[in-house]
């Protein structure tokens, strides 16, 4: 049997696709939970504002979801991303997604390990803005891939 003729799909299996969406949704929802607590539910006190009591919990949940999402991204590299790139399928939106995901990973690392009082607000702003952009662009990436499959 010649394995070079076995057709490797670009499309994710239904269970793999489900994991991408479940973990990605958890990441988005926990990030939104933190944003709401941080920007809309801060508790006023005599010295200004203090964080909402649920803000640390959302941040911990978001960190856990981020670790799981790193596994998800890693699971896409060997077949989905590599094969699509070699075949020239959905390259533009895929490259944009990879760039933005790399930026999210770097800013997440920066928030955890590098941020000081001056840089943390800027790193945070870039991190959550890019996160929202990725969430908005993923359906476009999927749609472009499905549209290209019909050709």
Does some domain include residue 9?
A: no
DSSP label at residue 50:
E
Let me know: does 72 contact 20? Beta carbons within 8 Å.
Answer: yes
Let me know: does 149 contact 11? Beta carbons within 8 Å.
Answer: yes
Q: Quick: pLDDT tens for 49-78.
A: 889 999 999 999 999 999 999 999 999 999
Does some domain include residue 8?
A: no
Provide the mean pLDDT of the chain: 90
Residue 29 has, within 13 A of its CA and on its CB side, a CA count of 8
Whole-number percent of the chain with pLDDT over 90: 74
pLDDT for 117 beyond 90: no
Predicted confidence at residue 41, as pLDDT, reads 92
Q: Which two tokens stand for residue 130?
A: 């890019």
Domains held by the chain: number: 1
Does some domain include residue 6?
A: no
The confidence band for 10, taking pLDDT boundaries of 50, 70 and 90, is: confident
Residue 40 belongs to domain spanning: 14-149
Does some domain include residue 2?
A: no
Q: Quick: pLDDT tens for 125-151.
A: 999 999 999 999 999 999 998 886 655
Q: pTM of this prediction?
A: 0.86
């Amino acid at each position: 049997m010649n394995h070079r003729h076995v057709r490797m799909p670009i499309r994710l299996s239904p269970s793999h696709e489900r994991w991408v969406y479940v973990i990605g949704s958890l990441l988005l929802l926990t990030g939104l939970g933190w944003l709401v607590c941080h920007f809309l539910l801060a508790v006023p006190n005599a010295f200004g504002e203090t964080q909402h009591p649920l803000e640390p919990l959302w941040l911990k949940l978001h960190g856990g979801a981020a670790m799981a999402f790193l596994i998800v991204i890693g699971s896409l590299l060997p077949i989905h991303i590599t094969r699509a790139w070699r075949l020239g399928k959905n390259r533009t939106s895929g490259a944009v997604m990879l760039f933005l995901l790399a930026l999210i990973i770097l800013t997440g690392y920066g928030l955890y390990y590098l941020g000081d009082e001056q840089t943390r607000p800027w790193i945070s702003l870039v991190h959550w803005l890019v996160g929202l952009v990725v969430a908005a662009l993923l359906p476009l990436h999927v749609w472009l891939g499905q549209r290209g499959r019909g050709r």
